[in-house]
Amino acid sequence: GDSVTQMQGQVTLSEDDFLFINCTYSTTWYPTLFWYVQYPGEGPQLLLKVTTANNKGISRGFEATYDKRTTSFHLQKASVQESDSAVYYCVLGATSSGQKLVFGQGTILKVYL
Amino acid sequence: GGIITQTPKFLIGQEGQKLTLKCQQNFNHDTMYWYRQDSGKGLRLIYYSITENDLQKGDLSEGYDASREKKSSFSLTVTSAQKNEMAVFLCASSLRDWGQDTQYFGPGTRLLVL
């Protein structure tokens, strides 16, 4: 079935460090891929979205590239800020499951001054 | 813009109790969802509804009922709360029911069962 794997449970960085969060997916369909971010006490919100029509998504300094060959959708940011501390979810959509989104386990990002 | 409101914010129940969580959205979206969030497990879909009075089971529907009597509201009932259960229940909505649409989430209801 469809699945998403985020191997990093937590990432700890200092301000201005480079961020890389690993995400791989498995599906037999042509998916839409999302990154959602969840700040403490809030629900998840969309960070960026990529469909089969465009391979790269960029938002608020974050970027993710959809690589069909390696079935990866890693999230990157050149220079993190303390305010980026949150939980980041890689999400698979528009698969043979139709309406359902498949969420990864989430990666907690902690950024210190 | 719009907003999703979930009530209550915190819910403390007793084992075996029936508990109801409510969600309202003013986006005028067709589709609404209920997810359960457990630490370290991502979000799991309990129920969703593509229109008023429609209900579709998700991967985690056992032990839950749902109700969509109006387009703007979607309720979830825990039919028999389990002792020591602790989770966050998130409501979401999207314009339509396809996996390409952005889902907008509420702030969640935090459940604790004593």
Tell me: pLDDT of B4 over 90. Answer: yes
Structure tokens at A41: 């006490």
Residues of A in contact with B95 (CB under 8 A): none
pLDDT value for B39: 82
Q: Report the half-sphere exposure of A17 (CA within 13 A, side-chain side).
A: 16
Structure tokens at B46: 């309990």
Whether B99 and A103 lie within 8 Å, measured CB to CB:
no
Whether A32 and B100 lie within 8 Å, measured CB to CB:
yes
Predicted confidence (pLDDT) per residue in A1-48, tens digit: 889 999 899 999 999 999 999 999 998 877 889 999 999 999 999 999
pLDDT confidence tier of residue A99, bands split at 50, 70 and 90:
low
Q: Please report, rounded to a whole number, the percentage of residues in chain A having pLDDT higher than 90.
A: 73
pLDDT value for A43: 95
Whether B90 and A43 lie within 8 Å, measured CB to CB:
yes
Tell me: pLDDT of B89 over 80. Answer: yes
Predicted confidence (pLDDT) per residue in B40-73, tens digit: 778 999 999 999 999 999 989 999 999 999 999 9
Cα distances (Å, whole numbers) of residue A46 to A30, A39, B20, B74, B92: 20, 12, 27, 21, 12
